[in-house]
Amino acid sequence: MGRGLVVVGVAVTVAVTACAVAAVVVGKRVKSRRKWRRVVGVLAELEQGCETTVGRLKQVVDAMAVEMHAGLASEGGSKLKMLLTFVDTLPNGSEKGIYYALDLGGTNFRVLRVQLGGQRSILEPDVERRPIPQHLMTSTSEDLFDFIASLLKEFVEKEGDVSDTTLMRRRELGFTFSFPVKQTSVSTGILIKWTKGFGIEDTVGREVSECLEQAMARIGLNVRVAALVNDTVGTLALGHYHDPDTIAAVIIGTGTNACYLERTDAIIKCQGLLTTSGGMVVNMEWGNFWSSHLPRTSYDIELDADSPNPNDQGFEKMISGMYLGDIVRRVILRMSHEADIFGDALPKLSMPFILRTPLMAEMHEDDSPELTKVARILKDTLEIPDVPLKVRKLVVKVCDVVTRRAARLAAAGIVGILKKIGRDGSGGITGGRSRSDIKMKRTVVAIEGGLYTSYTMFREYLHEAMKEILGEEAAQHVTLMVTEDGSGVGAALLAATHSSDPVDNVQLL
């Protein structure tokens, strides 16, 4: 009897323990299911916030066209500055001679020598690249331009035995200066402000080409600045050189911007503007575009508030390579706060800009079944080890949502330009006619920048959205043409078209 009780007692204890273990397991499962649901909720909210239906994209197209009008109507009339460039002639392929280019404003400073042979032939340019020494970026105007001029002099002196009529003329140069400039002629302009880590107070408000020409004069170098250009304008020039149907250029790299060829009579803020061609290239500075139709999330709002330029460059912050990785990081951070699916103590995940866009692209495009690249990047860059496969899949999905929105908005921006100049197949502002009555002109948009050229998914989403917005038929008439190195070769081409002394006019001695 006593023994029997003990046995029953043991059995009851085992049963109670088993129940308790089961309860813990079930409890854990319920908890983990709840966590997972919360994380999926964050994703669903992101997807909803980033929605870019064709209807919404068309509203963005219209808003872009409207803002372009407003920016052309009056100074300060829109967040789009719509800057005049005074470039009224684009290269057509017949340019001849040797021209130089300086490119300041990208990652490196570059000097180029470009030899143009007419008939759209460009010999492989000579290029020299140098980083700008850090101290010169915040030194004095004279120090910076002396440095640039001395490199140019060194480069020019290595010209070798070029037996060209150009050498009997004064050398000419296209200067790509990718900072905000108020242009006063094709070859002159006043620096509005420095960006990208430069901060030399005494250059602000000064005429940029004059700063360079004075520095050249100090060391006895005789080169004329024939064109002072923005990198988008160089890209348009190079595109037009290769294909005369090119009417706009877009750069989507670290930042984003666009320019296009406008009729001078549409540039209302500058009445009486006369150009021989009747047109002028306008630098939109579209990174600063804004519209209430843009799908904005809490992540965008936080990113903007934390940035050194809040309320500035709103479109750029949703689209360009500088920011996409950081939007993804912010979503992952939110997910980790909502539910600790990434484990705890994640100091790296809180560091702004630690997840660069090329790494985000690598995760997005990881096609291994186990998502091994995603696991490696999470571990190496964000110091989050042992992330389960289903969470890795979630991270890929976040990259997809952020990039898809960016690419589709960029596409809407491009169609906005086409709409403004009546090249979107809709009849433009004249309206009235149905799509089928309109014979669309072939239209080429030159495009460059690392985000577009190196990120396949971004490019594919952009192309897909262009077709969705324009419709298959109209989209067939629009070509996006990759034009690499407009900021170098394009500037030299503009020096040629705006030469004071084109080679063809030079009398052979």
- Residues 306-345, interacting with ligand ADP (CB under 6 A): 321
The entry of ligand ADP, Mg ion, none that residue 361 binds, CB within 5 to 8 Å by partner kind: ligand ADP
HEC string for 434-473: CHHHCCCCCEEEEEECHHHHHCHHHHHHHHHHHHHHHCHH
Using CB under 5 A as the criterion, what x/- string covers residues 135-174 for binding Mg ion? ----------------------------------------
Nearer to ligand ADP, 13 or 107 (CB): 107
The entry of Mg ion, ligand ADP, none that residue 59 binds, CB within 5 to 8 Å by partner kind: none
Nearer to Mg ion, 371 or 462 (CB): 462
Block residue for tokens 């109670």: 16
- Residues 81-120, interacting with Mg ion (CB under 5 A): 106
Q: Does 400 bind ligand ADP (CB under 6 A)?
A: no
Residue 344 vs residues 269, 348, 352, 387, 398: alpha-carbon distances, Å: 57, 11, 18, 12, 20
Name the nearest CA neighbour of 417 among 99, 41, 55, 80: 80
Question: How many residues line the site for ligand ADP (CB under 6 A)?
Answer: 13
Nearer to Mg ion, 106 or 422 (CB): 106
Closest approach of ligand ADP to the CB of residue 149, in Å: 23
Name the nearest CA neighbour of 325 among 233, 234, 399: 399
Catalytic annotation present for 500: no
- DSSP string spanning 110-171? EEEEEEEESTT-B---EEEEEPPPGGGGGS-HHHHHHHHHHHHHHHHHT------GGGGSPE
- Residues 245-304, interacting with ligand ADP (CB under 6 A): 253-254
Taken in order 251, 252, 255, 257, the sign of the CA dihedral is positive
Residue tagged active-site, from 78, 178, 187, 426: 178
Closest approach of ligand ADP to the CB of residue 357, in Å: 4
Burial pattern 193-232, b for ≥16 Cβ within 10 A else e, equals ebeeebebeebeeebbbebbbebbeeeebebbbbbbbbbb
Q: Does 195 bind ligand ADP (CB under 6 A)?
A: no
Catalytic annotation present for 178: yes
Q: Does 449 bind ligand ADP (CB under 6 A)?
A: yes
Q: Does 106 bind ligand ADP (CB under 6 A)?
A: yes
Residue tagged active-site, from 110, 224, 405, 459: 110
Nearer to ligand ADP, 71 or 105 (CB): 105
Instruction: Give helix 2-49 / helix 324-338 axis angle, nearest 10°.
Output: 150
Query: Which residues of this protein are in contact with Mg ion, per CB under 5 A?
Result: 106
Q: Which residues are catalytic?
A: 110, 178, 231
Query: Which residues of this protein are in contact with ligand ADP, per CB under 6 A?
Result: 106-107, 253-254, 321, 357-358, 361, 449-451, 454-455
